[in-house]
């Protein structure tokens, strides 16, 4: 019985991983907005642990972000546009990850100017995606 339950739970999480929904994306967005806030307070309180916790949360979340299943299922006319969106998302995600690492390295080295610059660049990437995918 235990094995069955474990398999059902495992299958459930596998399916969840495969099916990234709009709801998942909103959850991830909220988590990233929160992570940005944590990083910022780490800057203001000059606390490396806080910065690191925010960066970790941001990096863990941003890798999950992709067009949700609802949009992936939009067919034909949308398909090419969708592929562009996916490529763009991947690029942005990679940049956010790189800059998150820069924040950690620069802040640790006592270079808060460079650390906050990397932070601003991340914000720029968030807004770029919102502008181009969300039309905000
Ligand atoms: C790959 C594109 C993309 C990137 C990168 C991105 N976002 Fe978003 N974001 C979206 C989309 C699309 C929505 C709208 C989601 C919806 O309403 O279905 C959204 C919505 C949001 C929302 C509103 C969520 C809600 O409750 O309606 C917040 C907050 C947010 N993003 C924060 C961020 C932050 C912070 C970053 C950067 C660390 C970021 N986003 C990066 C695409 C992106």
Distance, CA of 16 to CA of 131 (rounded, Å): 28
If pLDDT is split at 50, 70 and 90, which confidence band does 19 have?
A: confident
Distance, CA of 106 to CA of 115 (rounded, Å): 5
- CATH number (1.20.1560.10, 3.30.465.10, 1.20.120.10, 1.10.10.10) of 20-134 reads 1.20.120.10
Count CA atoms closer than 13 A to 114's CA, side-chain side: 12
Decide: 65 in ligand 1 pocket, CB within 6 A.
Answer: yes
Decide: 35 in ligand 1 pocket, CB within 6 A.
Answer: no
End-to-end CA distance of the chain: 50
Decide: 22 in ligand 1 pocket, CB within 6 A.
Answer: yes
Distance, CA of 72 to CA of 33 (rounded, Å): 24
pTM of the predicted structure, to 2 decimals: 0.85
pLDDT tens readout for residues 56-74: 999 999 999 888 887 766 6
Going from the Cα of 83 to the center of ligand 1, the distance in angstroms, rounded, reads 19
pLDDT top residue among 24 and 131: 24
Atom of ligand 1 nearest to the CA of 36: 35
Going from the Cα of 2 to the center of ligand 1, the distance in angstroms, rounded, reads 39
Going from the Cα of 30 to the center of ligand 1, the distance in angstroms, rounded, reads 8
Residue 88: the pLDDT is: 79
Distance, CA of 70 to CA of 67 (rounded, Å): 8
Positive or negative, the CA dihedral 69, 127, 122, 58 is negative
Going from the Cα of 130 to the center of ligand 1, the distance in angstroms, rounded, reads 6
Distance, CA of 97 to CA of 116 (rounded, Å): 15
Going from the Cα of 82 to the center of ligand 1, the distance in angstroms, rounded, reads 17
């Amino acid at each position: 019985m235990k094995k069955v339950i474990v398999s059902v739970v495992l299958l459930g999480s596998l399916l969840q991983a495969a099916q990234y929904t709009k709801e998942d994306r909103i959850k991830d967005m909220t988590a990233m907005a929160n992570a940005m806030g944590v990083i910022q307070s780490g800057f203001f309180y000059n606390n490396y642990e806080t910065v690191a916790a925010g960066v970790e949360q941001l990096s863990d979340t941003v890798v999950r972000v992709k067009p949700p299943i609802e949009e992936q299922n939009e067919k034909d006319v949308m398909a090419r546009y969708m592929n562009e969106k996916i490529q763009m998302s991947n690029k942005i995600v990679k940049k956010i990850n790189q800059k998150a690492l820069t924040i950690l390295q620069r802040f640790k080295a006592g270079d808060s100017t460079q650390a906050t610059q990397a932070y601003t660049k991340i914000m720029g990437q968030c807004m770029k995606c919102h502008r181009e995918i969300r039309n905000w």
